[in-house]
């Protein structure tokens, strides 16, 4: 696919929100998600000839107007050229949070969360783990707040260190630490508000309340 705007967004490593803001585009709530280079759950594979292959990934989550799971492949060449390959869903379904394994001259993709409507077998949660109908372990259902509580209870780390493991470290891994992972001016105002027992009370996306309990709204008013 040839799209100079996307190529420019790749060069400047922009998110959907950042790209739309740069061009003063229409509200994504009105026209749909804006294309994003910055993503979670994308793989990057370096080939022997110096090409970097980026596969799929998702931007934000379902509550965000720019949420989208991608089924494209971005190839960056050593000479600076960029190629973007797009596919129909039946050829290459939306793919995120997978592994990419280079075998000889082929890349094999293993796993993907994708959209709930596109998933295959249903899983049942038993004792904190998800199992398929045949007993196969499908994965963990550990939530962020439970992970935060676990590391506080099981490791000798401070609360600020534990929070950093769940915020700044993932932002660095996703290469979006210039706008996520910290509470600083100019960063995306994506916040989670917990009580002292690590129960989620409110979620803010780009500074707007996306979810809040009554207690959470009261805490926000007080702050």
In a domain, 132, yes or no: no
Shared domain for 161 and 84, answered yes or no, is: no
Reported confidence tier of residue 78, pLDDT bands at 50, 70, 90: very high
Radius of gyration of the CA atoms of the chain, in A? 19
Q: What is the chain's mean pLDDT, rounded? A: 88
User: Which residues form the domain of 173?
Assistant: 141-222
Shared domain for 50 and 111, answered yes or no, is: yes
Percent of the chain clearing pLDDT 90 (strictly above): 42
Question: How crowded is residue 69: how many other Cβ atoms within 10 Å of its Cβ?
Answer: 21
Q: Are 205 and 64 in contact (CB under 8 A)?
A: yes
3-class SS of residue 204: strand
Region 180-204 average pLDDT? 88
In a domain, 88, yes or no: yes
Shared domain for 148 and 112, answered yes or no, is: no
Region 122-136 average pLDDT? 76
CA 204 vs CA 126, 130, 201, 208, 209: distances in Å: 31, 28, 10, 5, 4
In a domain, 126, yes or no: no
- Nearest CA to 145 out of 96, 64, 100, 199 is that of 199
Cα 136 to the chain's mean position, in Å? Answer: 26
Ramachandran assignment for 169, one of left (phi > 0), alpha (psi -120 to 50 degrees), beta (any other): alpha
Shared domain for 101 and 147, answered yes or no, is: no
Greater model confidence, 132 or 107: 107
Region 158-170 average pLDDT? 89
In a domain, 131, yes or no: no
At 153-163, the pLDDT tens digits run 888 888 889 88
pTM attached to this predicted model: 0.58
How many structural domains compose the chain? 2
Six token digits for residue 113:
């969360």
Six token digits for residue 10:
């790749």
**What's the pLDDT score for residue 138?**
66
Shared domain for 90 and 182, answered yes or no, is: no
Region 17-43 average pLDDT? 94
Six token digits for residue 195:
């009580």
**What's the pLDDT score for residue 150?**
87
């Amino acid at each position: 696919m040839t799209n100079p705007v996307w190529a420019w967004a790749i060069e400047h490593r922009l998110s959907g929100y950042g790209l739309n803001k740069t061009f003063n585009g229409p509200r994504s709530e009105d026209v749909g998600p804006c294309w994003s280079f910055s993503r979670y759950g994308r793989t990057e594979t370096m080939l022997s000839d110096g090409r970097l292959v980026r596969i799929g990934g998702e931007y934000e989550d379902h509550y965000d107007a720019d949420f989208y799971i991608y089924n494209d492949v971005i190839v960056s060449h050593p000479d600076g050229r960029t190629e973007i390959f797009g596919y129909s869903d039946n050829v290459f379904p939306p793919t995120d949070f997978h592994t990419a394994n280079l075998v000889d001259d082929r890349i094999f993709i293993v796993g993907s969360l994708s959209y709930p409507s596109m998933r295959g077998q249903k899983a049942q949660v038993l004792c904190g783990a998800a199992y398929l109908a045949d007993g196969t372990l499908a994965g963990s259902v550990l939530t962020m707040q439970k992970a935060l509580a676990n590391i506080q209870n099981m490791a000798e780390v401070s609360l600020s260190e534990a929070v950093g493991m769940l915020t700044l470290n993932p932002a660095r891994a996703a290469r979006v630490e210039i706008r996520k992972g910290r509470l600083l001016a100019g960063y995306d105002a994506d916040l989670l508000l917990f009580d002292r027992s690590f129960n989620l009370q409110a979620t803010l996306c780009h500074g707007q309340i996306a979810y809040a309990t009554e207690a959470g709204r009261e805490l926000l008013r007080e702050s």
